[in-house]
Structure 1
């Protein structure tokens, strides 16, 4: 079955190293919590808020062993007034036997504000 795994994190500044490090940590957590092997990933889509343009967060995937051939794309997030700033969001599409309810979405740093309902379920 194909499932989507969501993830989101925030950074403190528009700094290339910080963006890549935060993205890498989030992606690795998403993969670990959901027992994802890179061979089972169809694609990864990463969006960033307009205040983050120092680098492509997709660079983070190239730093993870075995992820060289995972298709990844970056794009801007919709600039909604009052939305969470300095936010990196991920949609990882994977082949997995897990049900929708078994998928563990990952929201860290200030991004926990985006889906507190999912965070509470996992505690």
Structure 2
């Protein structure tokens, strides 16, 4: 049976810098693709959010560049600015059609974002 599953990922950057945002996003999406053996034909869409302190670039540009997903719908949005939330954070949700069950999905947390889900950060 085929299911539509969400693959979560998050990373952080040190500075609100276009090249740093692109590099971190590219590294994140690359690991998400590798860990989950994502075929672009199975991707229905990608949601990307950033914290309010990141406005130097659209991370979707880096996803499109790294993955070559010219026809995959990508959407960037702002996170809810909750006091005390993790700063300079980029989050991705890749939605794929897969036969994998939820426990087989490998979520990816890099850099400072490992604090968001320490239970998932080290899974391979």
Shorter-chain TM-score range:
over 0.9
Cα deviation digits, residues 84-104 of structure 1 (max 9, x gap): 000000111001111100000
Aligned length: 122
SS in structure 2 of the partner of residue 21 of structure 1: helix
Q: Which runs of 4+ in 1 moved over 2 A?
A: none
In 1, Cα distance between equivalents of 2:24 and 2:58: 12
Following superposition, the deviation at residue 117 of structure 1 comes to 1.4
Match of 2:42 among 31, 40, 48: 40
Specify every segment of 5 or more residues in structure 1 that has no aligned partner in the other structure, as ranges: none
Cα deviation digits, residues 58-112 of structure 1 (max 9, x gap): 0012213541111100000000100100000011100111110000000000000
Please identify, of 21-30 and 63-72, the stretch whose mean Cα deviation from structure 2 is larger. 63-72
TM-score, scaled to structure 1: 0.95
- Asked whether the 8 Å contact 1:61–1:68 carries over to 2, the reply is no
Matching of residues 47-86 of structure 1 within 5 Å: 47-86=49-88
State the Cα RMSD in Å.
1.1
Specify every segment of 5 or more residues in structure 2 that has no aligned partner in the other structure, as ranges: none
Residue 16 of structure 2 is aligned to residue 14 of structure 1: yes
Counterpart for residue 30 of structure 1: 32
TM-score, scaled to structure 2: 0.94
